[in-house]
Amino acid sequence: MARLASNPVGLHRFRPCFRTAQLPQQLRASIPSRTNDHRRFQTVACQKTPNPSEPSTSEKSPPVEPVSGNEVSSTVMSSSSTDPAGIPEFPNKNTNRQVAVVSTLAALALFLSGRLDFGVSLKDLTVAALPYEEALSNGKPTVVEFYADWCEVCRELAPDVYKVEQQYKGRVNFVMLNVDNTKWEQELDEFGVEGIPHFAFLDKEGNEEGNVTGRLPEKYLRENVDALSRGEASIPHARVVGKYSSAENRKVHQVVDPRSHG
């Protein structure tokens, strides 16, 4: 031990082997420092003092408060019902009632528009018709209709006859002869009436140019009357037969007024 201590080479002359190695200057500059990162993060997080002369580009948002599930659902329902640009409100009872009333009125208007002459009856045509003798003596062409009150086809065609009569009123005579009236037995035989309604078309001299029987389109009657009003030698529909009621079902009755054409 004394020998080792007397050795002139001391322990302080040996450098420790566990000393930390020094990094080169360039490599040390490329490695970011933790202290600098901390300072940089604090610098970014701090808000810069706003300049009063510059306009603000954003507004401070109010703090968000927690909302329960019930409050969220009620808020969504109220916003959807009051937002004019959103989903429309569901119809209530008043809206349904208004829709029903409008639909009913529209259906009624459509029904009435298809039946402009719903008030025309055979009785109306009879009242407006000329007596048979007068029609043959006034120098105008004449349409003679043989009908009966019980004839369903005659009632159905009454509106069509009325419209044509109003169109050619003053130019063509319209006569109504009831087949149940015994006064017209001779005319029934003369015009060969076997079914009703039977329309006979006479020129201004009283000569028959043709006839049509039964339910037919309105244009048949209109075109024949138009030919009569223009004095043509013939009518376009001279011998046409549709669905009719048989004249054999007549309910013959005695004439009360000899001048009656009903």
Say if residue 112's pLDDT is above 70. Answer: no
Q: What is the pLDDT of residues 212-229, one digit of tens each?
A: 999 999 999 999 999 999
Considering only the C-alpha atoms of the chain, give the largest distance between any 2 of them, rounded to a whole number of Å: 182
Answer yes or no: is 4 within a domain.
no
The two three-digit tokens of residue 213, written as one number = 């029987």
pLDDT of residue 89: 57
Looking at the structure of the chain, the number of domains it has is 1
Average pLDDT over residues 48-54: 53
The DSSP annotation for 215-228 comes to B--HHHHHHHHHHH
Answer yes or no: is 112 within a domain.
no
The two three-digit tokens of residue 232, written as one number = 């043509």
Q: Whole-angstrom Cα distance, residue 178 to residue 93?
A: 56
Say if residue 30's pLDDT is above 80. Answer: no
Cis peptide before 8 (omega within 30 of 0): no
Answer yes or no: is 43 within a domain.
no
Question: 10 Å Cβ neighbour count for 173?
Answer: 25
Average pLDDT over residues 49-73: 51
Q: From start to end of the chain, where are the E strands?
A: 142-147, 173-178, 195-196, 198-202, 208-213, 239-241, 245-246
Say if residue 143's pLDDT is above 90. Answer: yes
pLDDT of residue 237: 95
Answer yes or no: is 139 within a domain.
yes
Q: Are strands 195-196 and 173-178 parallel, antiparallel or unpaired?
A: unpaired
Answer yes or no: is 146 within a domain.
yes
Please report, in angstroms and rounded to a whole number, the separation of the first and last CA atoms in the chain.
169
Q: Whole-angstrom Cα distance, residue 56 to residue 64?
A: 22
Answer yes or no: is 214 within a domain.
yes
DSSP, collapsed to helix, strand or coil, labels residue 262 as: coil
Residue 141's domain comprises: 122-240
Question: What residues have CB less than 8 Å from 187, skipping those under 6 apart?
Answer: 132, 144, 146, 177, 193
User: Annotated catalytic residue: which of 120, 122, 154, 228?
Assistant: 154
The more confident residue out of 250 and 127 is 127
CB 195 within 8 A of CB 247: yes
pLDDT of residue 222: 96
Helices 152-167 & 218-229, crossing angle to 10 degrees? 40
Q: Whole-angstrom Cα distance, residue 144 to residue 161?
A: 11
Answer yes or no: is 165 within a domain.
yes
User: Annotated catalytic residue: which of 151, 172, 176, 247?
Assistant: 151
Q: What is the pLDDT of residues 114-137, one digit of tens each?
A: 444 457 889 999 999 999 999 999
Average pLDDT over residues 203-210: 94
Question: What residues have CB less than 8 Å from 254, skipping those under 6 apart?
Answer: 182
Q: Residue 116: which H helix or E strand, with range?
A: none
pLDDT of residue 93: 74
Answer yes or no: is 64 within a domain.
no
Q: Whole-angstrom Cα distance, residue 25 to residue 94?
A: 87
Question: 10 Å Cβ neighbour count for 28?
Answer: 10
Calculate what percentage of the chain has a pLDDT beyond 70: 57
Q: Whole-angstrom Cα distance, residue 229 to residue 234?
A: 11
Our answer to whether residue 46 is catalytic in this structure is: no
CB 211 within 8 A of CB 201: yes
Domain containing residue 126: CATH number:
3.40.30.10
